[in-house]
A = this chain, B = another copy of it.
């Protein structure tokens, strides 16, 4: 096993005992834990070119994940496509790339985190039930991986989630509890039950394994870009685990000497729920209080008080990134623009194009720089958000 310890991202304390235990948060300060590896030892044993010869799947860099290959729980995770804007759009946006994680199992990037966490449960021999608060996509990804190996999944969802998300979780075998309020209320409800029922809590940012899945995405991207990463990455951000995981991956790649440049991480939120943007603009170290009346069509961005906000803000500042808010109406326009390129981007993901467009309009977009828009999920689950324009269909 290549993990040597878990370090708290808040107080810096190490959690020494690792083997055999499903880690959650820092026992001292409840901060998010980040797994630490002996990177040099891994790359001494397996040089980069040996990794490169393996198949292009999520599991390619398994030595940098906290699991042994015999414990992998897989639903089929080939490298997701890296695309360039087609020519017509490319005229306006040169050097812009798209990473399409909508092709992963269950249609979103959440599969990365859940593939790792469920495999870890297998490795530890934990055959307890698992539980999560989720607005939809984290829950469906968990349900898919966990159900496939026979674990029971309990999901706590805000009761106003779209029926399609609810159905999806139920058909994947999850037991769903609907909760008044938002994701934070769902998390609270889960806390009340989990000890009583002995559930394993795999909440966002409250265990160190899901970050590692997004970290694998960083390794995948680096190889796809031939180890010369873009200058900027736009990433839609609710709870922030995706961007934290990417950043962790880039730091490890840099420490390994496999990449020279770490991209600026530009997080995008909806102006209807932008606590991280507000904190960033006020130069605060964390989100101090929940966003009031959060309202956005991008359900994954409706996180009024992200648990690891301090860490997301650190990621932005350390990489000289940004935090941007875009309007829901611009998100819808960007979904449409993506469709016209043949790309299915969910609302959260479409926010990245809205942000890039905003930056360009404000004159802050350098078209000589390489830029990546990270598509975190497919539009296929969201046709209900698109209004029907009857002018475009008529009887022959």
- Do A396 and B76 touch (CB < 8 A)? no
In the complex, which residue of chain B has the Cβ closest to the Cβ of A179?
B396
Complex CA distance for A209 and B103, rounded to whole angstroms: 25
Q: Which residues of B contact A74 (CB under 8 A)?
A: 83
Q: A395 contacts the other chain (Cβ, under 8 Å)?
A: yes
Residue among A76, A343, A394 with most chain B CB within 10 A: A76
Binary per-residue interface labels of chain A (352-396) against chain B in the complex, 1 for a CB within 8 Å, 0 otherwise: 000000000000000000000000001011010010110011111
Q: Which residues of B contact A336 (CB under 8 A)?
A: 171
Q: Chain B's nearest CB lies how many Å from the CB of A131?
A: 11
Q: Chain B's nearest CB lies how many Å from the CB of A57?
A: 9
- Do A178 and B343 touch (CB < 8 A)? no
- Do A148 and B341 touch (CB < 8 A)? yes
- Do B342 and A147 touch (CB < 8 A)? yes
Binary per-residue interface labels of chain A (130-174) against chain B in the complex, 1 for a CB within 8 Å, 0 otherwise: 000000000000011101111000001001000110111011110
- Do A339 and B56 touch (CB < 8 A)? no
Q: A87 contacts the other chain (Cβ, under 8 Å)?
A: yes
- Do A393 and B178 touch (CB < 8 A)? yes
- Do A389 and B100 touch (CB < 8 A)? no
Q: Chain B's nearest CB lies how many Å from the CB of A84?
A: 10
Q: Chain B's nearest CB lies how many Å from the CB of A379?
A: 8
- Do A177 and B76 touch (CB < 8 A)? no
Interface residue from B147, B378, B383, B396 paired with A164 (Cβ < 8 Å): B383
- Do A388 and B167 touch (CB < 8 A)? yes
Q: Chain B's nearest CB lies how many Å from the CB of A91?
A: 11
Interface residue from B55, B178, B388, B389 paired with A394 (Cβ < 8 Å): B178
Complex CA distance for A343 and B173, rounded to whole angstroms: 12
Complex CA distance for A163 and B78, rounded to whole angstroms: 31
- Do A156 and B396 touch (CB < 8 A)? yes
Residue among A171, A176, A392 with most chain B CB within 10 A: A171
Interface residue from B172, B176, B380, B389 paired with A380 (Cβ < 8 Å): B380
Among residues 161 to 197 in chain A, which have CB atoms less than 8 Å away from a CB atom of chain B? 163-164, 166-168, 170-173, 175-180, 189, 193
In the complex, which residue of chain B has the Cβ closest to the Cβ of A178?
B395
Complex CA distance for A363 and B84, rounded to whole angstroms: 51
- Do B380 and A163 touch (CB < 8 A)? no
- Do A81 and B75 touch (CB < 8 A)? yes
In the complex, which residue of chain B has the Cβ closest to the Cβ of A166?
B393
Q: Which residues of B contact A88 (CB under 8 A)?
A: 149-150
- Do B178 and A147 touch (CB < 8 A)? no
Complex CA distance for A225 and B166, rounded to whole angstroms: 37
In the complex, which residue of chain B has the Cβ closest to the Cβ of A185?
B396
Q: A168-B383, A380-B380, A383-B167 are in contact. Are A342 and B392 (CB under 8 A)?
A: no
Complex CA distance for A386 and B171, rounded to whole angstroms: 8
In the complex, which residue of chain B has the Cβ closest to the Cβ of A335?
B171
Q: A344 contacts the other chain (Cβ, under 8 Å)?
A: yes
Q: A59 contacts the other chain (Cβ, under 8 Å)?
A: no
Complex CA distance for A156 and B396, rounded to whole angstroms: 8
Q: A334 contacts the other chain (Cβ, under 8 Å)?
A: no
- Do B178 and A342 touch (CB < 8 A)? no
Complex CA distance for A166 and B390, rounded to whole angstroms: 10
Q: Which residues of B contact A378 (CB under 8 A)?
A: 107, 380
Q: A48 contacts the other chain (Cβ, under 8 Å)?
A: no
Complex CA distance for A394 and B77, rounded to whole angstroms: 33
Q: Chain B's nearest CB lies how many Å from the CB of A135?
A: 14
Q: A310 contacts the other chain (Cβ, under 8 Å)?
A: no
**Top 5 closest pairs, chain A to chain B, by CB:** A76-B81, A144-B342, A177-B396, A380-B380, A148-B342
**5 more A-B residue pairs beyond the given contacts A55-B56, A145-B342, A189-B396, with a C-beta to C-beta distance below 8 A:** A78-B81, A163-B388, A167-B386, A168-B383, A177-B395
